[in-house]
Structure 1
Amino acid sequence: MDTLLERTYFTDIFDSEINLFKEKFGPDFDGWQVSSAWKLLQNTC
């Protein structure tokens, strides 16, 4: 249940960010990947 809530939360909150990640990582990118990808970007920038 927690996973489902997190996926819904990230998909709703970071919708615009998801579009940016899709541009960077491709169209297969999904909302549930935002948190890990965001941490990855912060570590590399």
Structure 2
Amino acid sequence: MNHLKTWWYHPVVQWIVRTFYYTAILLGLIIIYGFAAAHTGSFIYNEF
């Protein structure tokens, strides 16, 4: 168990885990909100 704790708190492992975590959050937000704005109504100033 101590070997696993030592491995988990290694700085490189922490950096890789955080990178994957924040990349997953960013991709999730892009999937949720990125495609919703493509089908919105017309631009408000088109008729001027």
Normalising by the residue count of structure 2, what TM-score does the alignment of the two structures yield?
0.32
Larger Rg: 2
Normalising by the residue count of structure 1, what TM-score does the alignment of the two structures yield?
0.33
| Higher relative contact order, structure no. (Cα contacts within 8 Å, ≥ 6 residues apart) | 1
Structure ranking higher in helix proportion: 1
